[in-house]
A and B are shown apart, each in its own frame.
Chain A
Amino acid sequence: MTAVVTTEGLGKRYRTKWALSDCTLSIPAGHVVGLVGPNGAGKTTLLNLATGLLAPSAGTIEVLGGRPAAGPAQLAKVGYLAQDAPVYAGLSVADHLKLGVRLNPGWDADLARDRVTRLDLDPRQKAGSLSGGQRAQLALTMATSKRPELLILDEPVAALDPLARRDFLSDLMETVAEQEVSVVLSSHLISDLERVCDYLIVLIASRVRVAGPVDELLSTHYLLAGPRRDPARLPAGQEVISASHTDVQSTLLVRTADRILDPAWTVSEISLEDLVLAYLSQDKPKRDPHRRQPHLRQRPHLEVQK
């Protein structure tokens, strides 16, 4: 499996604050990769480092085998749709296409023109007066018409209404299918990721918490419900991602490559959203190891008081 983005101990510091630190990950080629994580996990910083808009403060990053933005050839290989879909408000749609022609030797003018026609954008309209959805579409046109090998999108639909979001994502899927381009897409809207991504990376505090093809992730995570039980006593090979307990019942999210054989459990499959949420909420108590699994630790005290 070849990688489009590889980082090794990557870090970025703003003055004294580290926006991303010691991040080591590998993003495979040939996928639509969803990058999720809580605010402040370093997603945007990571993508800005991958496009060369930022220079790393520590570690290394390699994109398609080269240093990000190292030269015109490297820039031509990566298309970037930045957060909030920046375009020139004072330039018309046609001006933007002309900008693309002038600044990109590999610009596909037919593709750009077809897209603008298909999306029903008026070439004479100023980009500043486009709707949010149209602006995102124009920015995507700019990013794809240079025929990149890797397309990076940072929260492309966050600011769009549901209808525009649906249009944008289906358009993105068509483009990806036509161009055979690798895609990295960050979003905090997991339902959107579920529709377009076939590979998922959960980034929490600069660390990859879980990564893998979406199918594989869904087929190796199970939601178990059954009589109350200490998660530590589960068979080896079953990793507990999250656990919640009532007096008599335990609900566990476990990750395992094997099948669940214990008949005491009611096994159900989970949605991608539940899976991601489990990993994200798991992160919080982890910061203080003594407070791990608070319910179980406090339990004996309660019993004594009874």
Chain B
Amino acid sequence: MIWLTWRQFRAQAWVALAVLAVAAVALAVTGPNLASMFDASGIVGCAARGNCGALIDAFGYQVGHNAPDNVLDHLGPWVLFAVPSLIGMFWGAPLVTRELETGSFRMVWNQSVTPARWLAVKLALIGLASMATAGLLSLAFFWWSSPVERVSMARMTPGTFGATGIVPVGYAAFAFTLGVAAGILIRRTLPAMAVTLAVTAGAQAFMALWLRARLIAPVRAVIPLSSAVLSQFDVSPRTGRFIVYTGGNEPQGIPGAWILSGPETITTPAHVASQACIQSPALVPRPCLADLARLHLTQTVTYQPLSRYWPLQWYETAIFLALALALAGFSLWRVARRG
């Protein structure tokens, strides 16, 4: 059975190895250059010198204008998001439908191996190959992008989280077994492929946009506004309230956190603000900001801190592996029962 699985999976395995090889070469050729660029940027230890902002901007500019780095940096997450769906569509969905469509199941299911065992071996071996493919791609990209990550601290954001760490392994196992189960239920390859793509992409989006933030209760923090983060203010013509804007979106003190809500725009009744602010709002005069700081304004933020990256990775991977096991069990049950 192992021989037959390999014989029928051979061509697809070579394609996967070719993709892995191309990715490995591309990342291995450009990776060391990216790392040395980071070392030369002087970002390490910049905090002591107080010039981090400028150095990070300069490094980001360098990466953005180095064609291979820029392409890989943007392409990598897309590839890692797409690979599970591709595995589900091209390895999972046709696994049983191909046998049904060509009629060969009537030959192979009459050898001295029960159809359930036939499917179990295929699910196990090709399932492991799926997980290995996604895992190796993720590992290679993780290594390559680590200098960029140290600067951007974007690992927790939805666009990066699902394309790094061990989560792609869970996605791949899920998509593969989903493809097999869809094929067994629908019995035709093309519709099964379409369903696999839609459900896999849907599950990834649902996880990123809704469920992941709720796996661990988010941190809710009230952050005092210092004059350093205040950048601009305005008076609302409608309510007459005083609106304060902070410089960046990032609240201070929680680097790399995944901000779920906030920071809210701070409003306060206009009369509390100093006369200086109202006189010349467009100029953002220093005295006004100092006055505002004295009001002890605060803003509320909910977020998942960077320290929860690995716990969330494990939770999410476990969820998808459990779904994959359920789908595999369902497929085995259907094939064993038949008709």
Contact = CB atoms under 8 A, between A and B. Distances in A.
Contacts of A72: 112-114, 117
Contact of A86 (B1, B7, B107, B114): B107
Interface in A84-106: 84, 86-91, 95, 98-100, 102-106
Contacts of A104: 111-113
B7 A75 contact: no
Contact of A146 (B4, B102, B111): B111
A80 interface: yes
B104 A99 contact: no
A115 to B, nearest CB: 16
B338 interface: yes
A102 B4 contact: yes
Contacts of A106: 112
B3 A75 contact: no
A217 interface: no
A87 B107 contact: yes
Contact of B106 (A56, A71, A86, A95): A86
A53 interface: yes
Contacts of B1: 102-103
A103 B115 CA distance: 11
A103 B107 contact: no
A12 B107 contact: no
**What is the predominant secondary structure among interface residues of chain A facing chain B?**
loop
Interface in B1-54: 1, 3-4, 7-8
Nearest to A84: B103
Contacts of B108: 88, 99, 103
A86 B107 CA distance: 6
Contacts of A12: 339
B112 A88 contact: no
A212 interface: no
A53 B104 contact: no
A253 interface: no
B110 A79 contact: yes
B310 interface: no
Contacts of B110: 51, 53, 69, 75, 78-80, 82, 143
A95 B117 CA distance: 20
B3 A98 contact: yes
B15 to A, nearest CB: 15
B333 interface: no
A54 interface: yes
Most buried by A among B107, B112, B114: B112
Contacts of B206: none
Given A75-B114, A80-B110, A86 B338 contact: no
A56 B339 CA distance: 8
Interface of A: 12, 48, 51-57, 69, 71-73, 75-76, 78-80, 82-84, 86-91, 95, 98-100, 102-106, 139, 142-143, 146
29 contacts: A12-B339, A53-B109, A54-B338, A55-B338, A55-B339, A56-B339, A69-B109, A69-B110, A69-B114, A69-B115, A72-B114, A73-B112, A79-B110, A80-B110, A82-B107, A84-B103, A88-B102, A88-B108, A91-B8, A98-B3, A98-B7, A99-B4, A99-B111, A100-B111, A102-B1, A103-B108, A104-B111, A139-B107, A142-B107
